[in-house]
Structure 1
Amino acid sequence: MKVADRIPRNGKTNYTHEMAKKRRDFLTEKTGEALEHTGQFSIDPACLPGNIENFIGVVQMPLGVAGPITINGEHAQGDFYIPLATTEGTLVASYSRGMRVISESGGCKTTVVEQYMQRAPAFIFNDAQEARAFGDWVKANFDTIREVAESTTSIGKLVNIQQWSVAKMRYLRFNYTTGDAAGQNMVGKATLAACEWIIANYQTPTRYLLSGNMDTDKKHSHLNMLGSRGKRVIAEVVIKRDILMRYMHTDTVAMARACVMANTGAMMAGAAYNGPHSANGIASLFIATGQDEANVVESHAGILSHELLDNGDLYLAVTLPSLICATYGGGTGLPTQKECLNLLGCYGKGKANKFAEIVAATVLAGDISLGCAVIAGDWVTSHDKYGRNRD
């Protein structure tokens, strides 16, 4: 059987314009596609090691800006213009509309409540009693385990280790703080060091798997809704009744009733989020700012809360319990992604909580706009008029 030709690589010059072109030419020969637009880019391939392999060019994503939105947070304070990378027509306009309602109502209040990143190894024993004894030993030796784990990182801090027994297995969930990095790789390295120390020092021979899947890496889980993964961040606003009517052509009573119906529907469906569409804003903002786009799976989960106030105004709050984002490391330092973070004043160390607050505020704006569009009957007609590429 003939083996297919391998993709061209060069260990010394793999991240160069020449090697990128060589790979594009190889693909053109194999497939007939010229890759004309893919091969046009302004970034230097030399900045890409650690971000991608077999580099051939870029996928150009349209980038729009929504806003301004007024945020009165602990970390994000002022008016912000939000970069959103998307191919969905009406999305940027819709978010801008929601942001206007928030700003005209005095802005939204944002709070980062807590933040953790996890790695969850599983240990296997001969029976449940051995597994239980191991759990007690881990508790007694936590200080040393923490010291070993933290020796691998300058910013990661081990806060606690949760434990569960199932059959003859003991699942541990290491909870870390990770500064301004998302931290999945960081906590993996730290937990590996801790586990190797554990099996070298525990009196009973044991085997382990570094991830027993209770860290729920890039998977939604109800565990994270309760215990937080990434940042638990909340955005709140009191929408003025007259402002909602002026810009959204509906009133707060109708919106409150719609929230009740939406809550019931989301509960019946078992949805990860009961609001209109948290993933839209998160994904668009993540792509623009160099986040790991797969983290949208975890980050979009949450709760939209509402309360109709006695004066007719409407309190709305978005709670995102597992928002995984970073302003340092990963893709955040790539040229265009860094520019988008700089638009927000969020690039570099000490800015991750600020960025998280901006993400939550963006989700809140999107929910206001889409929710009102559904109530007012504008949802389908707006997409039909503005959201179709007819070429």
Structure 2
Amino acid sequence: AVAEPGVAVLCPVDVRVSPPSQQPTLATGRSAGREQTKRRRAAMRVAYRNAREEDPLEEIEEGEQERQQREQHELEQQRIGQLVEKTVAGEIPVHALETQLSDCDLAVRVRRGWLTQNTNKSLSGLPMQGFDYKSVHGVCAEMVVGYVPLPVGVAGPLLLNGKQYQVPLATVEGALIASTRRGCKAISESGGASARVTKQGMTRAPVLLFPSAMRACDFQEWIESADNLPRVQEKFASTSRFGRLQSVKVAVAGKQAYARFCCATGDAMGMNMVSKGVNAVLDDLIANEFPDMQVLGLSGNMCCDKKAAAINWVEGRGYSVVVEATISGDVVTKVLKTTVQDVVALNTAKNLVGSAMAGALGGYNAHASNIVTALFIATGQDAAQNIESSQCLTLLSAANDGADLHVSCTMPSIEVGTVGGGTGLAPQRACLDLLGVAGASTETPGANSRELAMVVAAAVMAGELSLMS
């Protein structure tokens, strides 16, 4: 058969008939027929492949696309190289690349080139692609050159207040998730845990300087007066839709006064919200009541943020949560592989006496910080706030005449939010969504962050149970 130019012959199969003397029997005929069918199909596949490979139009089209892509890539690399040179020369401020270039991805590429030239170190092991850099610009990080991937696992199901959760934990500590999951199993198989928020309020404590100690005392009396609090609350509320001032407590040290403002902040963790409101209050007081007052610092360290402090342990900061569960004796034996008496004795010797021997501040627990930190990273919280958020008192006691185990964790300063900061990043928001608390509550402001705080406490209790057994 002769094909037209550019047209493939699909079935070049020999179909000549054999002479009668050479014709096969019925059985051999069937076998030969099957073989002929196989050859025909194989020939069709080969012809089809050849037709695609030999199509000159397709080759030209693919070649043109590759050439265009290659040229585009070369131009892009050339542009990046030029921008790197300008950055190295100081013509473009390296910290302002995002603003100068109006392209966050390009800014990261240029900054990586600048860093490589300045340090003579390769960044090939630090990922860059596959991240939304626009989402972190001006919100989460500066001088960005890439991101660090972390594994995220889930511990659960955790039955808390009648609802099941799969708790996302981001960690590089092997066995942590598996251990926490075992604690979740013990809690869930024993009927679940109950948790309640006992107090809520984010704090900010500016340090204020007065001409004399007596004048500092005047300020304390004025701002702590029930008659003046409504005016201060009104000024604070004017700066936010959700921020509400709850109380102000002042500590005087000579001519200095430390005013600890405690505020409700909706579903946000609230540090920025509180700082803005406090600043407005101080401006108003300077203008109208205490013109001789000097603001030394918007934070005087009595807040107390990112430090283990007795004031947070006693007064609370963020969410104060208590969570409890009664673990059946069977579950203690089968899941936790211990006895009620042994785990109670260990908790007293380790978490209570041992912590006292160490002079631990808020550390009357086995490893609350492990779970708090892993959950904070997974859900976009401020990881440094694990310090005060991990303050935890773990108590174990025999229940039901010694047959079962009662466990509780009291955590006075869990600082979490479901809006703002890292909670808006896609992976972290996905973890919040897994818990059913992503974003702001549309029904009750603060409900989502309140629920998250209780999940944190319950997950900590699961980790405590497992490690202590």
For the criterion TM > 0.5, the same-fold answer is yes
CA distance in 1, matches of 2:326, 2:101: 56
1:69-108 alignment to 2 at 5 Å? 69-72=158-161, 77-108=162-193
Partner of 1:383: none
Matched, 1:251 2:332: no
* Contact 1:135–1:163 (CA under 8 A) maintained in structure 2: yes
Going from structure 1 to structure 2, the CA distance change for 1:33 and 1:121 (only over 3 Å counts) comes to: same
* Cα shift at 1:142: 1.8
Q: 1:382 corresponds to which residue?
A: none
Opposite residue 165 of structure 2, the aligned amino acid is: F
8 Å Cα contact 1:21/1:39 also seen in 2 = no
- Name the residue aligned to 2:50: none
Alignment of 1:55 onto 2:144: yes
Partner Cα distance (2:281, 2:112) in 1: 44
Q: Which amino acid aligns with 2:136?
A: L
Give distance in 2, aligned partners of 1:54 and 1:127.
Answer: 44
Distance 1:172 1:328, change over 3 A: same
How far 1:63 moved relative to its partner? 1.3
Residue 360 in structure 1 maps to residue 442 in structure 2 = no
Q: Distance in 2 between matches of 1:15 and 1:104?
A: 52
The AA in structure 1 aligned to 2:415 is I
The equivalent of 1:314 in structure 2 is: 405
Pick one of 363, 386, 390 that aligns with 1:296. 386
Please report how far the alpha carbon of residue 141 of structure 1 lies from its aligned counterpart in structure 2 after TM superposition: 2.3
| Alignment partner, residue 19 of structure 1 | 107
- Name the CA shift for 1:322/1:14 in 2 (closer, same or farther; >3 Å): farther
The answer to whether the Cα contact below 8 Å between 2:209 and 2:293 also exists between their aligned partners in 1 is yes
One-letter amino acid matched to 1:52: A
Q: How far did residue 137 of structure 1 move?
A: 2.1
The partner residue of 1:277 within 342, 359, 367 is: 367
CA distance in 1, matches of 2:146, 2:277: 34
Change (3 A) 1:281 1:287: same
Q: Are 1:264 and 2:353 matched, yes or no?
A: yes
Q: Which residue of 1 aligns with 2:307?
A: 219
Greater Cα radius of gyration, structure 1 or 2:
2
Segments of 5+ residues of structure 2 without an aligned counterpart are: 1-87, 442-447
1:197 — aligned with what? 284
Q: Distance in 2 between matches of 1:48 and 1:122?
A: 31
Aligned partners of 2:177, 2:320: CA distance in 1, in Å?
A: 25
How far apart, CA to CA, are the structure 2 residues paired with 1:193 and 1:245?
58
Deviation at 1:280, TM superposition (A): 0.3
What is the alpha-carbon distance in structure 2 between the residues aligned to residue 256 and residue 94 of structure 1? 19
1:185 to 2:272 alignment: yes
Q: Secondary structure at the match of 1:52?
A: coil
**Range 16-25 or range 316-325, more displaced:** 16-25
Shift in alpha-carbon separation, 1:343–1:41, aligned structure 2, 3 A: farther
**What is the identity, as a one-letter code, of the residue corresponding to 1:216?**
C
> Matches of residues 128-139 of structure 1 in structure 2 within 5 Å?
128-138=213-223, 139=225
> More relative contact order in 1 or in 2 (CA 8 Å, sep 6+)?
1
Equivalent residue letter for 1:316: V
Rounded Cα–Cα distance in structure 2 between residues aligned with 1:354 and 1:93: 23
Query: When the two structures are aligned, how many residues end up with a matched partner?
Result: 366
Q: Which residue of 1 aligns with 2:246?
A: 159
In 2, Cα distance between the equivalents of 1:273 and 1:211? 25
Check conservation: 2:128, 2:145, Cα contact below 8 A. Answer: no
Query: How far 1:14 moved relative to its partner?
Result: 5.4
Q: Is the 8 A contact 1:307 1:316 kept in 2?
A: yes
The alignment partner of 1:152 has SS state of: coil
Identity %: 37
For structure 1, which segment, 303-312 or 314-323, has the greater mean C-alpha deviation from structure 2 after superposition?
303-312
Change (3 A) 1:203 1:277: closer
CA shift digits 1:86-115 (9 cap, x unpaired)? 111111111111111111111111111111
For residues 207 and 8 of structure 1, the distance between their equivalents in structure 2, rounded to whole angstroms, comes to: 33
Distance in 2, matches of 1:23 and 1:332, equals: 25
1:207-258 CA deviation, whole Å, 9 max, x = no partner?
Answer: 1232221111111211111111000011111011111111222101101111
Q: Which amino acid in the other structure matches residue 33 of structure 1?
A: K
Shift of 1:4: 9.8
SS at match of 1:17: helix
Question: Matched residue of 2:146: which SS?
Answer: coil
Q: Secondary structure at the match of 1:331?
A: helix
Structure 1 window deviating more from structure 2 (81-90 vs 195-204): it is: 195-204
